[in-house]
Amino acid sequence: MINKSIPEFKVEAFHDGEFKTITDADVKGKWSIFLFYPADFTFVCPTELEDMANQYEELQKLGVEVYSVSTDTHFCHKAWHDSSDAIGKIKFPMLGDPTGAITRGFDVMIEEAAQALRGTFLANPEGIIKVAEIHDLGIGRSAKDMVRKVKAAQYVAEHDGEVCPAAWEEGQKTLTPSLDLVGKI
């Protein structure tokens, strides 16, 4: 998935109290996180979505839009948003994917369950995937670590020739790969 384009799509979403049509063309032009989860009204999913909602303001400052995606409909997303305190915190678009087109396009569909794995993808403004992370259903993700990965991806995009080492945090030293670094790290 890395360095491939996001798939083409056109779906309905619940966002800002309204139903909206969102396409792959709409997400281009800024950094985007696609946060796939198995289903609304479940157990680990609301903890992950609330965690991402808690990081949303920082992600917005970084020029990133978040799109949560499940194979539920936009109607189901609205009902969940209206009935759950955790999901009620969400300000990012909740994409409905009842046909599974986006979920299959990102290769996270569990066919026998018609649900998504816990997949997180970061795409650059051109719609090219730069981070792909897939978890089994029982393992929740960390939005804070995703913010760190966004900062690293943006740094690398803006600083040609530099790379970010393991656990890199903003402001720490980076590396410039070269022959004289071989065997010295």
Residues with catalytic roles? 45
Crossing angle for the helix pair 44-61 and 143-158, nearest 10 degrees?
A: 30
Integer CA distances (angstroms), 101 to 79, 84, 104, 157, in order: 22, 27, 5, 29
Nearest CA to 155 out of 143, 136, 169 is that of: 169
Q: Is 36 helix (H, G, I), strand (E, B) or coil?
A: strand
Q: Which two tokens stand for residue 168?
A: 């890199």
What is the per-residue DSSP string for 120-136?
Answer: EEEE-TTSBEEEEEEE-
User: For the chain, how are helix, strand and coil distributed in percent, rounded to 5?
Assistant: 30, 25, 40
